[in-house]
Structure 1
Amino acid sequence: MLPEAIDERVKVVRHFNRSFTRQIGVLREGLLHSPYTLTEARIMFEIAHREQTTASHLGRELGLDPGYLSRLLTRLEQQALIEKRRSDNDGRQFLLELTDEGKQAAQLLDQRSRDEVAEMLNTLSEQEQQRLLKAMQEIEGILTRSFKFSEPFFLRSHQPGDIGWVAHRHGVLYAREFGWDERFEALVAQIVADFVNNYDPLRDHCWIAEMKGEIVGSVFVVRASESVARLRLLLVEPKARGLGLGTYLVEECIRFARQHGYQKLQLWTNSVLVEARHIYQKTGFKMIEQESHHSFGHDLIGETWELIL
């Protein structure tokens, strides 16, 4: 590539960076009208959303110099926002936790962030929002080295036609791969019909995954109670398996459930769904119950899994 060509592209990228950081307000003195910098807020966010974390883990996750991170942690500790606790498993390690004041600060930052992004999105039409989200996901996919898809993918909310697709593809794939009869498709059809009829965008969500304009996956979060949500109907098409999409969809469900105030995320699956069970285990779910049942023409072992948020 000619030097003048790369110089021009660098200018475009830097202009986008300046424009976007100004738009989301990260250059203001206090992030989200708070006394905290962007890095301090990220540290509190990471501690709040992990059961156990250490300074070394935070450094790797956020790409921070150890000395700089140490100074920030000391400052947050002096402000009584975080505290250190010696690990029960390894006395050489200290786990970082938020104090009650730290939890309140993190919750306030999270709510303000959500409100500001929602305000920005509400100024756009539905078509503009979808274009923006797709562009953001494509940028993230291209720039993240660990990204496993060979082509950019796009997650979106459900649209007319998607609900029928979910029921149809579940019926086809589970019959082909496990020999389940049409009663399973009927069950899925009932689940998605209940989702549409009782849909509350503040408590429920459906993600549809597309690659090259083709639907390749889906998952749902639905309200079970004020404090408990259910993850339902995780599906990844065979052509998109082994690429990390299933894990990504489950992680989106976890993020949604946390952001919307749920305390637990539960799911029901069967022991024969080995790949799905591996994803649930990897993302922190624990199996809490098993029971044998005869369904869809087969003897199965049903399992209830749970994640404390």
Structure 2
Amino acid sequence: MGGDFAGTDLPPSAVHALIEIEGGDVTAKVLCHRLHLEKSSVSRMLRKLITTGLIAETPGADARVKSLSLTDSGRKCVAEIHTFASSQVKTALAALAPSQTELIADGLSLYAEALAKSTPPATPVTFHTGYQTGLIARVVDLHISYYARKAGFDSAFEAAVAGGLADFVPRLTHPQNEIWTATHAGQIIGSIAIDGQDLGDATAHLRWFIVDPSAHGTGIGRALLQKALAFVDEQGFETTQLWTFHGLHAARRLYESEGFVLASEYTGRQWGTEVLEQRFDRKRRET
């Protein structure tokens, strides 16, 4: 691991960080998860990358959350890293006969299979139904950390989430109210709730659906949504409603795959920035 790495004078962790930041939607917290590094190590590395002019921090409405992006120098550096890597592989393979490259491909495939069998399983994600200690604070943190960066939502949004949860949690004793959380390594990384009381008219309100960005694409969001909708159907609600806003494309695809349809949309500024707010409805599925 000594000497130049990927054609740069950067350490491997910094090279990896630059490539992750290139993909977009990255914060220091996300890097901690993806690089499996301690917060202090990531902070020191990011300070050096900022000082050398390779990355920049963009504060959101919540000053605690800063989005990372490549500067012009950073984009040039990452392009050179990709070029170096491609050149290394092409140069090495060009020196081999076709039969030898096939042998390498077979060997790598066998090694990958063996490695997968010998690697200890990752810490599992567990799902919890009902209240648990610290739930309100953690779910509020997940919401404001994501939406301040994603949409510029401000203190009004944080206050609304905190106030709504504070009102809802004591009502979990009602049979038509429930909340589910996903936990990894002792920390809540996702949540969803069904409030069966506030809308009335046999309509369930799907609320506080959030998954930590580090767990996006893992299926945790779908698992939480399916648990909530199974509860809705068991309770006999005729309709389930949720409110979101335009631009969350992955979430919309998930909603629509589970039977939600866009019912209405309008422009609003209630959370500190103008967004196209949307309501999705799902009718009860016949069994």
TM-score for the superposition, normalised by structure 2: 0.53
Q: What is the correspondence of 1:99-178 to structure 2 with a 5 Å cutoff?
A: 151-156=123-128, 157-178=130-151
User: Which amino acid in 2 is paired with 1:242?
Assistant: G
- Alignment partner of 1:193: what SS? helix
**Which runs of no fewer than 5 residues in structure 1 stay unpaired?**
1-148
Is 2:172 the counterpart of 1:192?
Answer: no
- The one of the two structures with greater contact order (alpha-carbon pairs below 8 A, sep at least 6) is 2
Larger radius of gyration: 2
CA-to-partner distance for each residue in 1:51-97, whole Å, 9 max, x for gaps?
A: xxxxxxxxxxxxxxxxxxxxxxxxxxxxxxxxxxxxxxxxxxxxxxx
Q: Distance in 2 between matches of 1:274 and 1:184?
A: 21
Aligned to 2:271: 296
Match status 1:214 vs 2:187: yes
Whether 2:177 is the aligned partner of 1:204: answer yes
In the TM superposition, structure 1's runs of 4+ consecutive aligned residues that sit over 2 Å from their partners are 149-152, 197-201, 272-275
- Which residue does the alignment assign to 2:207? 232
- Amino acid across the alignment from 2:194: V
- Separation in 2 of the partners of 1:288 and 1:150? 40
Find out whether 1:275 has 2:247 as its counterpart: no
Change (3 A) 1:214 1:160: closer
**Matches of 2:163 and 2:146 in 1, distance apart?**
17
Matched, 1:257 2:235: no
* Residue aligned with 2:183, SS: strand
Question: Equivalents in 2 of 1:275, 1:200: separation in Å?
Answer: 33
Letter of the 2:161 partner, please give it. V
Indicate the residue corresponding to 1:71 in structure 2: none
AA aligned to 1:152 is P
CA separation in 2, counterparts of 1:295 and 1:188?
13
| Equivalent residues of 2:176, 2:235 under 8 A apart | yes
Q: Give the aligned partner of residue 223 of structure 2.
A: 248
2:263–2:280 Cα contact (<8 Å) kept: yes
**1:212 Cα deviation from its structure 2 partner:** 2.6
- Superposed CA RMSD in Å reads 1.7
> Which 10-residue stretch deviates more, 188-197 or 240-249?
188-197
User: Mean Cα displacement is larger for which, 200-209 or 230-239?
Assistant: 200-209
Q: Give identity over the alignment, percent.
A: 30
Q: In the aligned structure 2, how far is the partner of 1:284 from the partner of 1:171?
A: 27
Superimposed CA distance per residue, residues 230-250 of structure 1 (whole angstroms, 9 cap, x where no aligned partner):
101111001111111111111
Q: Secondary structure at the match of 1:256?
A: helix
Between the two proteins, the alignment pairs up a number of residues equal to 161
SS in 1 for 2:259: coil
The 3-state SS of whatever aligns with 2:168 is helix
- Per-residue CA shift, 1:176-217, capped at 9, x if unaligned? 222211111111012101212333341011111012322110
Amino acid at match of 2:252: R
1:272 and 1:194 map into 2 onto residues whose CA distance is: 29
TM-score (norm 1): 0.49
Hey, what's the Cα distance between the residues in 2 that align with 1:267 and 1:193?
19
The equivalent of 1:7 in structure 2 is none
* Matched residue, 1:48: none
Out of 164, 181, 185, the position equivalent to 2:154 is 181
State the one-letter code of the partner of 2:142.
R
Shift of 1:226: 5.1
Q: State the 1:274 CA deviation.
A: 2.2
SS at 1:206 equivalent: strand
- Specify the code of the residue in structure 2 equivalent to 1:192: L
